[in-house]
């Protein structure tokens, strides 16, 4: 529910998406969403170069400010990777954007402030119209950079967040990542916004800074006034304006209850992910870079079940050298030794493009040249990655995984290139794991239905359930009109998963799951009962999933899986799964 539910004349309850956990209560600070007054005027020909020079100076100053914010973010969040603001730097380095501004000034002879606003709005509108969650979220980056540029050009500096003198809950239509990075953490209890999603930069930064936050409240800025006392529950996405004493007491107890649960989960760090009757599940972590390696140890994961290597490219916005790749892969392998690290080859394409690849625009990029298809299209670039993985494998705890496999021939071609890479290293006298394991991601129905053929060429399967669900039920998850059809417990999805597991075991290969289904403790007993051998989730989710595993017996789980396969609807399956978790670990439902 996103509309306001009036409880009394002064109290309002709003519901949005909780993106950073915690319960906080305090006064609201309504952050002005005022737009800069951009004046349009004509300039003389002899003033053109002056305005372009001012633009270049503003770019330099903006870059300095963002770099400073990155340093501040590292200090505030105690993390070593403030790459969250790299997208802003990418906008500043985008030659298409810069040239568009310069050419417009020369052509139209308009002042630089007006042109920067004009061009950035054009770019923002194009991104906003794209039917892709990741690209739509880049709209905020473009607008944030443009706003910073125009403030520098106009001499209008608004630093309200940094100048807070008392603790507040920030309320805003939207909160740009750079604004979040500039705030004084000791003065901010939490923040809430009209817009946003769980994967937006702002949400990611809220979690990194450990500040409770709610997004997608739609009309919070219309209901909150400066100084209103508000309570936010970042777990459930509930905001109460002017709560009464009973609500304050209720949420105070709830907060303490959740903290006690989390303390208990933290004690599981050194405990194995094993069911009551002794079935061991390998519980690993999904990571996007080496900055998350400490988090793996902190939360007690068994290793890395998915290393998303494409983020090495995306973070630098350029091709990554073989040496840089080796360093990242070796760091991961050494950090989790003797446990394994599964390195997925580049999952590029779709919304993630290889810089300088000059790929033609596609009408349906998620059904086009992406992942293993793109790797096979660029065999030399692919072999560079394969060599880097091999060179990092000398401790024999590295595995290779190919994404988006749709048929066995793709695996055969990839393995042929892997053998070529091995041969090149042998001739150079470089040591590597000659018996390195190779796996295939099963995320396309065609792969699940021909798994027995693919199994002949790999050592393991890993189920990528995000795409498997999307492709099976033909639903775009970011399309609000059909999002309700995205059902992990759809019988067709479960049958494809069960078939993949059965085929894998019949062919003596293990089967893991690295999609979001693995990170839902409600579904943990079901997946165990279906026979999954490994689960890989975000590091922070490891304790919850471990607790769910340790709360059930394998026999219970098998019975649940059998019942699920007899259900008629996805809702029925979800219902019996929730009932089991409520019976064995009811405290986990409070955290999901």
- In angstroms, the CA 348 to CA 312 distance is 11
pLDDT of residue 536: 96
| Nearest Cα residue to 337 out of 285, 279, 397, 424 | 397
As given in the structure block, the two tokens for residue 19 are: 């993106």
Coil, strand or helix at 99: helix
Give the Cα separation of 343 and 304 in Å (integer). Answer: 8
162 catalytic per annotation: no
- Residue 402, strand partner residues: 440
Task: In whole angstroms, give the CA distance from residue 207 to residue 52.
Answer: 39
pLDDT digits (tens, 9 = 90+) for 484-502: 787 899 999 999 999 999 9
pLDDT at residue 225 is higher than 90: no
1 confidence band (pLDDT: 50, 70, 90): very low
Q: Which tokens in the block code for residue 189?
A: 């209890």
Q: How many CA atoms lie within 13 A of 242 on its CB side?
A: 13
pLDDT value, residue 360:
56
H/E stretch holding 181: helix 177-182
The active-site residue, picked from 51, 201, 299, 340, is: 201
| pLDDT in the model for residue 356 | 47
Model confidence at 4, in pLDDT bands (50, 70, 90)? Answer: very low
Do the beta carbons of residue 234 and residue 252 sit within 8 Å?
no
Q: Do residues 31 and 160 make contact, with C-beta atoms less than 8 angstroms apart? A: yes
How are beta strands 213-215 and 17-20 bridged, if at all? Answer: antiparallel
Chain mean pLDDT for the chain: 84
CB 156 within 8 A of CB 58: no
The predicted model gives 199-208 an average pLDDT of 62
Per the model's pLDDT, the better-predicted residue between 325 and 538 turns out to be 325
Q: Before 338, cis peptide (omega within 30)?
A: yes
Question: Which residue has better confidence, 305 or 592?
Answer: 305
Q: Which residues contact 107 (CB under 8 A, 6 or more apart)?
A: none
**Catalytic position from the list 284, 514, 557, 577:** 514
Per-residue confidence (pLDDT) for residue 10, from 0 to 100: 66
> Pick from 291, 284, 464: which is nearest to 370 by CA?
464
Using pLDDT thresholds of 50, 70 and 90, give the confidence band for residue 258.
confident
Walk me through the domains of the chain, giving residue ranges and CATH numbers: 5-32+160-263 (3.50.30.10), 46-154 (1.10.274.10), 275-555 (3.20.20.60)
Residue 557 among the catalytic residues: no
SS3 16: coil
Strand pairing of 213-215 and 238-241? Answer: unpaired
């Amino acid at each position: 529910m996103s509309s306001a539910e009036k409880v009394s004349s002064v109290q309002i309850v709003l519901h949005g998406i909780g993106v950073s956990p915690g319960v906080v209560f305090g006064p609201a600070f309504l952050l002005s969403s005022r737009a800069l007054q951009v004046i349009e005027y004509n300039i003389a020909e002899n003033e053109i170069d002056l305005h372009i020079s001012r633009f270049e100076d503003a770019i330099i100053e903006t870059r300095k400010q963002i770099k400073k914010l990155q340093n501040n973010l590292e200090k505030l969040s105690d993390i070593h990777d403030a790459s969250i603001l790299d997208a802003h730097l990418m906008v500043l380095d985008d030659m298409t954007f810069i040239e568009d501004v310069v050419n417009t000034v020369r052509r139209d002879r308009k002042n630089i402030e007006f042109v920067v606003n004009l061009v950035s709005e054009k770019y923002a509108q194009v991104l906003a119209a794209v039917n892709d969650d990741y690209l739509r979220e880049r709209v905020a980056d473009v607008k944030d950079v443009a706003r910073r540029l125009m403030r520098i050009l106009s001499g209008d500096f608004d630093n309200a967040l940094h100048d807070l003198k008392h603790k507040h809950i920030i309320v805003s239509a939207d909160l740009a990542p750079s604004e979040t990075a500039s705030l004084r953490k000791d003065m901010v209890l939490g923040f809430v916004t009209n817009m946003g999603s769980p994967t937006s930069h702002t949400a990611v930064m809220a979690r990194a800074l450990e500040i409770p936050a709610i997004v997608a409240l739609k009309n919070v800025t219309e209901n909150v006034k400066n100084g209103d006392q508000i309570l936010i529950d970042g777990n459930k996405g509930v905001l109460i304006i002017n709560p009464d004493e009973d609500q304050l007491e209720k949420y105070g107890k709830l907060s303490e209850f959740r903290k006690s649960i989390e303390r208990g989960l933290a004690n599981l760090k050194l405990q194995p992910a094993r069911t009551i009757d002794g079935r061991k599940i390998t519980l690993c972590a999904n990571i996007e870079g080496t900055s998350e390696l400490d988090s793996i140890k902190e939360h007690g994961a068994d290793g890395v079940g998915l290393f998303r290597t494409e983020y090495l490219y995306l973070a630098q916005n350029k091709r990554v050298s073989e040496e840089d790749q080796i360093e990242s892969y070796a760091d991961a392998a050494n950090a989790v030794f003797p446990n394994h690290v599964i390195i997925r080859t580049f999952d590029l394409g779709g919304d993630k493009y290889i810089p300088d690849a000059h790929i033609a625009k596609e009408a349906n990029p998620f059904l086009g040249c992406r992942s293993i298809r793109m790797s096979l299209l660029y065999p030399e670039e692919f072999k560079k990655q394969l060599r880097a993985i091999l060179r990092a494998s000398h401790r024999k705890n590295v595995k290779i995984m190919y994404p988006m496999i749709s048929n066995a021939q793709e695996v055969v071609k990839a393995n042929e290139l892997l053998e070529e890479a091995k041969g090149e290293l042998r001739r150079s006298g470089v040591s590597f794991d000659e018996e390195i394991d190779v796996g295939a991601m099963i995320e396309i129905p065609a792969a699940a239905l021909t798994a027995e053929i693919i199994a002949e060429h790999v050592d393991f399967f890993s189920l990528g359930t995000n795409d498997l669900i999307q492709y099976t039920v033909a639903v775009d998850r970011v399309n609000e009109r059909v999002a309700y059809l995205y059902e992990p417990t759809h019988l067709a999805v479960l049958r494809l998963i069960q078939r993949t597991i059965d085929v894998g075991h019949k062919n003596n290969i293990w089967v893991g799951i690295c999609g979001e289904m693995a990170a839902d403790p409600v579904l943990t007993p079901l997946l165990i009962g279906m026979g999954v051998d490994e689960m890989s989730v975000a590091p922070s989710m490891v304790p919850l999933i471990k607790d769910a595993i340790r709360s059930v017996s394998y026999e219970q789980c098998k019975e649940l899986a059998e019942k699920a396969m007899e259900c008629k609807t996805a809702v029925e399956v979800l219902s019996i799964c929730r009932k089991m978790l409520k019976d064995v670990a009811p405290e986990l439902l409070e955290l999901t």
